[in-house]
Structure 1
Amino acid sequence: MSYISFEKTQLINLEFALSRELLRANRSGAYSSTTIAGCNTRKSHGLLVVPQPWLDHNNHVLLSSIDETIIQHNEEFNFGVRMYPNGTYNPKGHKYLRAFTAEPIPKITYRVGGVVLSKELLFAVNEARVMIRYTLEEATSQTTLRLKPFLAFRSVHQLTRANIDANIKYETCQKGVSWQMYNGYSRLNFQISKDTEYTHVPDWYFNIEYIREKELGLPHQEDLFVPGFFEVDLKKGESIIVSAGLEEIKPDTLNRLFNAEIKKRIPRNNFENCLLNSAEQFLVKSKNKTEIMAGFPWFGTWGRDTFIALPGVTLSRGDETSFKAVIDTMISTMRGPLFPNIGKNNQPDYESVDSPLWFFWCLQQYSTLKNNHTEIWKKYKKVLLTILEGYREGTEYNIRMLDNCLITAGGPGMALTWMDVFNNGKPITPRSGMAVEVNALWYNAVCYAVQLAEFSDDTSFLNEWKSVPEKIKASFLETFWDEKKGYLADYVYEGIKDWTIRPNMLLAASMPFSPITEEMQDAVLKRVKSDLLTDRGLRSLTPTHPLYKGVYAGNQTERHLAYHQGTVFPWLISHFSEAWLKLQGKSGLSFIEDIYASFEPVVFEAGLGSVSEIFDGDPPHESRGAISQAWSISALIRIKELIEKTKTSK
């Protein structure tokens, strides 16, 4: 039996089926995503969603969905599902759902009368191509399968309406046709492994709604274009393969290609393999660049997320080549000592004080693994010096080292830490000044650079920097620690210390070089455990705070107000686990093993086989945000690695 599977009673429950989503991404940054019912609930859903870099930096939905209809004795049974205004669903193909399995690839089985049809979804690893294998498992008489494609040809961030600019014409290709709805877009080649009859009857379907967008108070209604339909007669036991891709393919090779692609998959037959399977999907390779997508289905490449996720999605899987390729790609994007954080209007945004410091941490993970400290210093010294000197002398966004050797950053209207959400142009968590995690990362970065220089006998660097860590440490303790409170201040701005209990203090305990004593680390962990720890990660704010929001829901403003005010982030759990095991050793193993195991139910919810971006702060900690997030997956892979290392340590 498949590790991830659902039966009829679950599948015909539309609420259940619409809350379970499929996602498969590939090396080109393209993806395929929908629900197990085949009903798109997000504007970012689609069977073929691809980059169109000559248009913009977004993904674009070309093929939204396909309606499958079984025809027998002149009776038609449509397996499609779409939502229209007033919560109306038409057609209601979910009532024919009988089984779902995810291994080796997603397989959905329908039954109507004596007809059983299965549908297997496969997304190519190295090209933008979705393939669907339909098999007539059972039939008592002649059966015809009709396939009706729904086209969008628009960005994942937009919706479309019927218009006179759409090109409703088609061109023939081998055993299929191709469409290009608008100039500038790639052609969509729709081909079938068997000869079929295509009937061109262009039409628009109006006012299709996406329930998840509606729940978020966002635009949620659009029109989709249906150019026509294909019909093919099937015999019992017969299979056909449908291919939708940017490049035309030889239909006679589809069966071989389909089977070859299946073999490339890491089987999702247990929790650990689900994480490994998901991890490889975040790596995007194009020309001379290798990047990490922060999350699917709507995130792009984010600097901070890249560095936090990188060791887990590459090194922990034994993929050193991709690790180095991502590092080199990120270096090529630097502006002074800064890395780009997110894209904004197709222009990079460098407003991140911690990304360069996470870069040090990434290299630290690699050199610790490989024991290649002198090699790292030789190759990356120039970059590391650019960051260290840039921070010491001062750079953009008021980022600079103070006389006490701590880092300050930002100012009114700025949000440079990972808690960077704005509402009405103002940061919701304005943490300008000296942020606790930034200075924990800074201390670790300087200590690591000194360590590398010592391995390489770089006396010039050591003469300049060797005394700095002790100064940082002394200032850190004086600035952030309070013996009576027993934990660290979250940030200090204009002389005022903010004692709000957030998870940021955790990094002072988890970093390889810690600026606080073991007793302080223990106190910090106890505070984080009592106030912030859940079985889905760490809350971003203690529930005792008046601004705490336990549910991430509502319109955009309501969600923004909740994002860093109680919402749970899984990525932090690896740093909690690392700090815990660093102090407790093998005696702390069972607790961390329980934390790791508590995440297993997540792969059966939301994004199947993956882990979401965030969860509600309040029980039952419902999955929220993007259905598959790189740093969430990375955190759990790293925890598993930490557990195994601790077990075998002396």
Structure 2
Amino acid sequence: MSYLKFDKNLMINLEQSLTKEMLRTNQAGAYHCSTIVGCNTRKHHGLLVIPIPELGNKSYVLLSSLDETVIQHGAPFNLGIHRYKGGVYSPNGHKYIREYDCETVPRTTYRVGGVILTKEMIFSSQENRIMVRYTLVDAHSATTLRFRPFLAFREANELAIQNTSLNPDYIEANNGVGFCPYKGFPTLYMQLSRKPTWVSEPNWYNNIEYSKDRDRGIPYIEDLWVPGYFEIPIKKGESIIFSAGISEISPRSLSKMYETELTSRTRRTSFYNCLKNSAKQFYIKDNDKEFIMSSYPWGSVRARDTFLALPGSTLSIDHTEDFHQIMDTAIKAYEHYMETEELDPRIHGIDLPDIPLWALWAIQQYGRSQGFDKARKRYMPVVSKLLNWILAGGHPNLQVETSGLVSTTGTSTPASWMNSTQAGWPLVPRTGLLVEFNALWYNGLMFGCNLSEGIPEYEKHRESWLTVANQAKTAFITTFLNDYGYLYDYVNGKYSDPAVRPNMAIAIGLDYSPLERRQRKSVLDIVTRELLTPKGLRTLSPKSYGYMPFYIGQPDVRERAYHNGPARPWLFGFYADAYIKVFGMSGVSYIDRMLIGFEDEMSQNCIASISQLYDGNPPFSGHGSISHATNVAEVLRTLRNLKRLNP
């Protein structure tokens, strides 16, 4: 039995099936995303969504969907499904679905009378091309397939509206046609592996609704242009491949290309394999550079997310070379910022004050995974450069105080990962001495000392790092540890923020924590009691003022809740590290049991992946981006750590 298989009863129940989404990407930043029944519920959904550098560093929906129709004895049976204004679903193709299987590639089985048809989708890893293979498993009479493309040609965060500026002309292609409705866009080539008949029948389909966007309180109705349809006869046992891409392809090569892509896929037959596939979907390659996308279906390449997600999404699945390439790309960009203070055009947020601290943490994880000799050989110069640059006051918003601690200003612009804003102002104005900044700083200093030990050329640097680390350790305890046994979230002058937040979990989960074991346990107890959920750590304790557990409602309401209650799965990685450091091997089974909450997510929300955040209260529903790099990475890193401890 497949690890990810959904039967007829679930598929025809739209209340259940429309909550489950699927995602496929390639390493050029393109993606395909929809619900498992094929009904788009977000403006970001689409059969082919690609980045177009000439139009800006954003994603664009070219092909929104493709309606399939089975024709027998002149009677059409439309397998598509759309939601129109007023909540009307038409056609109701989901009623023909008998099974949906996502073990290797998304595979839908339809039954229309005596016809059994399967549809399998696969993304080319090398180019922006989606391929859909249709196989007629059974039929008792002559069968024809009709394919009707719904074109959007708009930025993924916008909506298409019927207009007169659209160019309806098309060009002939080998076994297909090509369209470019608007200037500046590439031509979309739609072709089949065997020659079809193209029937030009241009129409606008108006008032298509996206229910997820409606629930989020953002614009949700659009018009899509349907230029016509393909028709092609198909025989029992025969397969036909539909291709949509921005370059014309030889139809003869489609079958071989499809099979080649198929053999490279890891089957989703376990929790680990699901997350492994999900992690690889965040890789983006651009010539000699490699990046990590922060999330899908919206997201970008971000410095903090890159360093946070890097160890888990590469080392934990034995993709060491990808770690090297992504780290080299990111460090090269960061070194350029250190020298010039110029922002990177591709990696967003590279100027944020905690970026060098997370970079040091990522290199430390490399040492844990690959051995510190390899880390020393490859990254010692980088570690030294980062530490000395911070000590020299190189960063404009990260100052080393006389106490050895580091301070930052976050009153007008968010400085940390808790970066929600309203009217341009931080909703969580963390400023001054931030608890995770200083824990990462102490950890980075001690890691540098460890890595440089025995290397004469770094001896003087090591002495200064150790001196500051010792100062910072003492100051950290007196500054952050309070009489209640947990850590203040930030301290700004005489003000110590008492909110119980998960940043203290980072402080106790690091290899080099400023706290002793007993102090760690005290903090861990508070985190376990007030912040731990089956989906990660709450961003604020229910006992703290301003707790908002549910990420629902209008945009301004959701923004206020963003860091004031909902749980973040990536924080569980630090919690797990802390728990095992405190309780040793006796804590392994507990962490293993807690991971069940994430394994349950493999068949929820975005199947085989983990959402951006979850409600802080039951039933802990998922929200935000449907597949989030740091969450997938940290759960993977925890799985790998458990395997090392208890093989």
- Correspondence for 2:393: 394
Amino acid at match of 2:155: S
Change (3 A) 1:381 1:104: closer
Rounded to whole Å, the distance in 2 between the matches of 1:500 and 1:312 is 29
Q: Which moved more, 1:43-52 or 1:104-113?
A: 104-113
Q: Which moved more, 1:31-40 or 1:388-397?
A: 388-397
Output aligned runs, 1:184-333, within 5 Å: 184-333=184-333
Deviations 1:132-161 (A, max 9, x none): 111122222221111000111111111111
- Correspondence for 1:152: 152
Rounded to whole Å, the distance in 2 between the matches of 1:496 and 1:647 is 44
User: Alpha-carbon deviation of 1:338?
Assistant: 9.9
In structure 1, stretches of 5+ residues that fail to align are none
SS in structure 2 of the partner of residue 575 of structure 1 = helix
- Correspondence for 1:626: 625
Rounded to whole Å, the distance in 2 between the matches of 1:566 and 1:405 is 32
SS in structure 2 of the partner of residue 606 of structure 1 = coil
User: Alpha-carbon deviation of 1:202?
Assistant: 1.9
User: Alpha-carbon deviation of 1:6?
Assistant: 1.1
Output aligned runs, 1:175-190, within 5 Å: 175-190=175-190
Rounded to whole Å, the distance in 2 between the matches of 1:347 and 1:530 is 37
| Maintained 8 Å contact 1:303/1:355 | yes
Rounded to whole Å, the distance in 2 between the matches of 1:221 and 1:562 is 26
User: Alpha-carbon deviation of 1:74?
Assistant: 2.0
SS in structure 1 of the partner of residue 352 of structure 2 = coil
Output aligned runs, 1:533-548, within 5 Å: 533-548=532-547
User: Alpha-carbon deviation of 1:467?
Assistant: 1.1
Q: Which moved more, 1:608-617 or 1:330-339?
A: 330-339
| Maintained 8 Å contact 1:97/1:111 | yes
Change (3 A) 1:107 1:324: same
SS in structure 2 of the partner of residue 333 of structure 1 = helix
Rounded to whole Å, the distance in 2 between the matches of 1:350 and 1:8 is 47
Change (3 A) 1:342 1:633: farther
| Maintained 8 Å contact 2:380/2:451 | no
RMSD between superposed Cα atoms in Å:
1.9
Rounded to whole Å, the distance in 2 between the matches of 1:338 and 1:494 is 31
Change (3 A) 1:583 1:347: closer
TM-score (norm 1): 0.96
- Correspondence for 1:556: 555
> Is 2:485 the counterpart of 1:510?
no
Rounded to whole Å, the distance in 1 between the matches of 2:339 and 2:502 is 24
Change (3 A) 1:337 1:512: farther
Output aligned runs, 1:514-533, within 5 Å: 514-533=513-532
Rounded to whole Å, the distance in 1 between the matches of 2:300 and 2:347 is 13
Change (3 A) 1:125 1:243: same
Rounded to whole Å, the distance in 2 between the matches of 1:551 and 1:437 is 25
Output aligned runs, 1:432-581, within 5 Å: 432-457=431-456, 458-482=458-482, 484-581=483-580
Rounded to whole Å, the distance in 2 between the matches of 1:473 and 1:326 is 32
Change (3 A) 1:583 1:348: closer
Rounded to whole Å, the distance in 2 between the matches of 1:92 and 1:340 is 55
Deviations 1:216-264 (A, max 9, x none): 1111111111111000111222211111112221111212221111111
User: Alpha-carbon deviation of 1:291?
Assistant: 0.2
SS in structure 2 of the partner of residue 547 of structure 1 = coil
SS in structure 1 of the partner of residue 646 of structure 2 = helix
User: Alpha-carbon deviation of 1:306?
Assistant: 0.9
| Maintained 8 Å contact 1:339/1:350 | no
Q: Which moved more, 1:387-396 or 1:634-643?
A: 387-396
SS in structure 1 of the partner of residue 414 of structure 2 = coil
| Maintained 8 Å contact 1:351/1:416 | no
- Correspondence for 1:604: 603
Change (3 A) 1:324 1:237: same
- Count of residue pairs the alignment pairs up: 645
Amino acid at match of 2:107: K
Amino acid at match of 1:610: S
Q: Which moved more, 1:103-112 or 1:611-620?
A: 103-112
User: Alpha-carbon deviation of 1:411?
Assistant: 4.1
In structure 2, stretches of 5+ residues that fail to align are none
Rounded to whole Å, the distance in 2 between the matches of 1:224 and 1:210 is 12
Amino acid at match of 1:555: Q
Deviations 1:33-66 (A, max 9, x none): 1111111111111111111112111111111100
Rounded to whole Å, the distance in 2 between the matches of 1:366 and 1:240 is 45
Rounded to whole Å, the distance in 1 between the matches of 2:318 and 2:371 is 15
User: Alpha-carbon deviation of 1:386?
Assistant: 4.2
| Maintained 8 Å contact 2:122/2:132 | yes
- Correspondence for 1:97: 97
SS in structure 1 of the partner of residue 333 of structure 2 = coil
Amino acid at match of 1:86: G
Rounded to whole Å, the distance in 1 between the matches of 2:221 and 2:90 is 15
SS in structure 1 of the partner of residue 205 of structure 2 = strand
TM-score (norm 2): 0.96
Rounded to whole Å, the distance in 2 between the matches of 1:343 and 1:360 is 19
